[in-house]
Amino acid sequence: NAGVTQTPKFQVLKTGQSMTLQCAQDMNHNSMYWYRQDPGMGLRLIYYSASEGTTDKGEVPNGYNVSRLNKREFSLRLESAAPSQTSVYFCASTYPLGGGPRYNEQFFGPGTRLTVL
Amino acid sequence: KNQVEQSPQSLIILEGKNCTLQCNYTVSPFSNLRWYKQDTGRGPVSLTIMTFSENTKSNGRYTATLDADTKQSSLHITASQLSDSASYICVVRVSGGGADGLTFGKGTHLIIQP
């Protein structure tokens, strides 16, 4: 049981390049999330998918797109990277809403460290 | 606006000592509060989760308290160990907020010195 996995672990891009961050979970969770974490700031929600087939914008969606490929996988795409997108990106998944013994606990992946030059 | 404020921003203590981290929130209506531990270069890992009716919850040497009336929580670490060096993040969920109903604090960076 690997939990939440993310690829790649590190990436350096030039301004204007595109890339896709991959995330997968093997816990049969319905909801998945993408966050970014910047120094001195809390985790900020970029996009989330409450269930397979749905996606919604979070607090900071500009410059990103997402795809919920299936129940396991949720990808984040940067179409034209900018230096302001230099950050650490975390994917997370959540125990099904509305029930379960862990009160919607989130499980996080190890993160992708992205630098845009 | 829903906010979660944590203090101190950073803290250095000697191994074996106790410490207490604070979390104040303005999230309303309140559903639950979680404390996460984030080791350097890793994703956050849940320590405790408390609902409105729970005012104390322990996880080994970690004890979290919640005062829903004053909207304050604390995380007490007993007999600190070098492995406790990490950032500790307080997260509050708003009731009925759906999949995006979480507000994150900026974290307290804790360093345990030998």
Q: Name the region of B82 (left: φ>0; alpha: ψ -120 to 50; beta: rest).
A: alpha
Q: Can you tell me the distance from the alpha carbon of A17 to that of B78, in angstroms, rounded to the nearest whole number?
A: 48
* Residue B110 and residue B87 in contact, taking contact as beta carbons nearer than 8 Å: yes
Q: Which of A94, A105, A89, A88 is nearest to A71 (CA)?
A: A94
pLDDT, residue A96, reads: 62
Q: Which chain A residue is nearest to residue B31, measuring alpha carbons?
A: A103
Q: Do B106 and A48 touch (CB under 8 A)?
A: no
Q: Can you tell me the distance from the alpha carbon of B7 to that of B93, in angstroms, rounded to the nearest whole number?
A: 19
Closest Cα of chain B to A16: distance in Å? Answer: 26
pLDDT at position A100 over 60:
no
Q: Do B100 and A48 touch (CB under 8 A)?
A: yes
For B15-39, the DSSP string reads TT--EEEEEEE--SSEEEEEEEEE-
Per-residue H/E/C for B54-91: CCEEEECCEEEEEECCCCEEEEEECCCCHHHCEEEEEE
Q: Do A43 and B32 touch (CB under 8 A)?
A: no
Give the best residue of A5, A32, A36, A37 to mutate against chain B (max B CB count within 10 A).
A37
Name the more confident of B109 and A94. B109
pLDDT tens across the length of chain B (114 residues): 789 999 999 999 999 999 999 999 998 888 889 999 999 999 999 999 898 888 999 999 999 999 999 999 999 999 999 999 999 999 998 877 666 788 999 999 999 999
Q: Which of A64, A59, A18 is nearest to A41 (CA)?
A: A59
Report residue A42: phi and psi, to 5°.
-75, 170
Per-residue pLDDT of A26-68, as tens digits, reads 998 888 999 999 988 889 999 999 888 899 999 999 999 999 9
DSSP state of A83: G
Confidence of residue A23 (pLDDT cuts 50, 70, 90): very high
Q: Which residue is it, tokens 């000697």?
A: B14
pLDDT, residue A102, reads: 46
Please report, as a single letter, which amino acid is at residue A41: M
Q: Do B104 and A42 touch (CB under 8 A)?
A: yes
Q: Do B100 and A40 touch (CB under 8 A)?
A: no
Chain B residues lying within 8 Å of A33, measured CB to CB: 99
Q: Do B100 and A58 touch (CB under 8 A)?
A: yes
pLDDT, residue B97, reads: 65
Chain B residues lying within 8 Å of A74, measured CB to CB: none
Angle at A107 between CA B97 and CA B85, to 5 degrees: 110
